[in-house]
Structure 1
Amino acid sequence: MSQSAPRRRAPRNSLSAELIVDRALALLDDKGIDAFSMRALAEELGVGTMALYTYFRGKEELFKAARDRVLSTYQPPSTSGSWDEQLRAVCLSMYELFTGRPSVLQLLAEGKAEGDFADAASVTMEQVVRLLCGSGLDRQAAARAAGTLIGFTIGSAMRHVRECHAEGGPAAQAELMRHRFAILSPERHPALIDLAPELTLAREDGEGQYTFGLGLILCGLRDLAAAAAPQS
């Protein structure tokens, strides 16, 4: 009978809150919230589960520390150019933050950490609102535009993260989409069947789909701002 390899244990006195948070983020990014447990984290660190409770009272406290670790070090980009060019850079940076550290997005989306995005990333919200208010839009349009940009960015990142953690990843989701198109009736859905290859490719390219949609939103905002500008 083969014996399993002995569990690798952390060197004596090497465990710390910082190390626990680092490994927790890596485990969450790799496996997702559903597969996370204090026991799995302890095995990853090579310590007993109870050792973790010396530093954190439970998963919720650890999740909050993990979220705060990432968001506290994030700074929106220092940008130049027109207001819409700067908005594009800020939104792309936010999208890349969440898709690069999917654990934080999952914690926020699942309500597994206290607080919300607006509180944790108020600097980003301030930058978005400031740029919109300086674009020429009226106050109501600027407020609605801020909600649209933030919602679209977080929603797009969330979809990307979910598909990456789904069985088979984005490629499997695209294959499922191909199958669904293949069984459609040509009489009832001729346009969908005709565009099926392009629709499937767009589904696979999460970042490309996001940047295209962001461009459409900014194009519409430019038109609104131009229409609101005083006529000379």
Structure 2
Amino acid sequence: MTRQEAKGKDTGRIPLNRDRVLRAAVALADATGIDALSMRRLAQELDVVPMALYKHVANKEELLDGMADAVVGEIDPPAAGPDWRPVVRGRILSARRVLLRHPWAARVIESRTGPTPAVLAYLDSMAGLFRAGGLSADLTHHVMHAMGSRLLGFSQELFDTSGPSGPPDPALAARFPHIAELAATAAHDDGSTVGGGCDDQFEFEFALDLLLDGFENLRRRGWSSPRVSAR
């Protein structure tokens, strides 16, 4: 028995396992930010030697995969309802609440080279909601592309406007009058952003509702893509 094992046995501490490692990593990222997370820092948090972590996660990338899955696992299951739109809307807003609790998670999810098992299961479930709502497989395919990261509760903005607010620079306003006009009318909620930029709650829900209503209109029209229509 190693000294570390003996210490664990003597103190009655909770045995280290993958779930405990992932939960500790998520909590550490919440507290300090994802950039401060390291295997060594996580080992200190768990009061183990760093090598003990590698019995449960092979490397930092596998740790991040597991953290992404742990966060996605917090999203509420879909509610029942006769209309697919509020069901989909409610689940996406649940995903958004989860990502607001873990502001680093959107970046980690985007950084994965492929979808993790929990993300795949979530996306499969969302596709199933569209199909159960009467959308064809063809339309659902394009809906999933159109929704993109919004399915997981966040969106990507053209520019990072998270800097200090205030009147636009007069020289820039004269050169780009329409952008200056939009900037002057914008009102963003502090602390509601997932990631950087102007992705506040109102804007997210505004775009989400436009998309869902548009998909329903296409469904009613029996829309199909040109590729399918040509068959």
Q: TM-score, normalised by structure 1?
A: 0.68
Q: How does 1:27-66 map to 2 (within 5 A)?
A: 27-53=28-54, 55-66=56-67
Matched, 1:195 2:182: yes
Structure 2: unaligned runs, 5 residues or longer? 1-6, 190-196, 224-231
| Mapped contact 2:40–2:50 kept (Cα < 8 A) | yes
User: 1:6 is matched with which residue?
Assistant: none
User: 2:4 is matched with which residue?
Assistant: none
Q: Please state whether the residue corresponding to 1:22 is helix, strand or coil.
A: helix
Q: How does 1:10-159 map to 2 (within 5 A)?
A: 12-14=11-13, 16-17=16-17, 18-53=19-54, 55-72=56-73, 74-111=75-112, 115-117=114-116, 119-154=117-152, 156=154
TM-aligned CA deviation for residue 152 of structure 1: 3.1
More helix by share: 1
Query: What is the count of residue pairs matched by the alignment?
Result: 205
TM-aligned CA deviation for residue 136 of structure 1: 4.8
- Aligned-residue Cα RMSD (Å) equals 3.6
Quickly say closer, same or farther: Cα 1:55–1:137, change in 2 above 3 A. Answer: closer
TM-aligned CA deviation for residue 25 of structure 1: 1.0
User: 1:224 is matched with which residue?
Assistant: 218
Q: Please state whether the residue corresponding to 1:209 is helix, strand or coil.
A: helix
| Mapped contact 1:77–1:90 kept (Cα < 8 A) | yes
Q: Please state whether the residue corresponding to 2:61 is helix, strand or coil.
A: helix
Structure 1: unaligned runs, 5 residues or longer? 1-8, 164-169
TM-aligned CA deviation for residue 184 of structure 1: 4.5
| Mapped contact 1:99–1:157 kept (Cα < 8 A) | no
Quickly say closer, same or farther: Cα 1:38–1:130, change in 2 above 3 A. Answer: closer
Quickly say closer, same or farther: Cα 1:184–1:91, change in 2 above 3 A. Answer: farther
Q: Please state whether the residue corresponding to 2:96 is helix, strand or coil.
A: helix
Q: Deviations over 1:141-193 (max 9, x none)?
A: 2210122224334482577xxx8xxxxxx8xx241x647x3355343333332
Q: TM-score, normalised by structure 2?
A: 0.68
TM-aligned CA deviation for residue 56 of structure 1: 4.0
User: 1:166 is matched with which residue?
Assistant: none
CA distance in 1, matches of 2:146, 2:156: 15
User: 2:209 is matched with which residue?
Assistant: 215
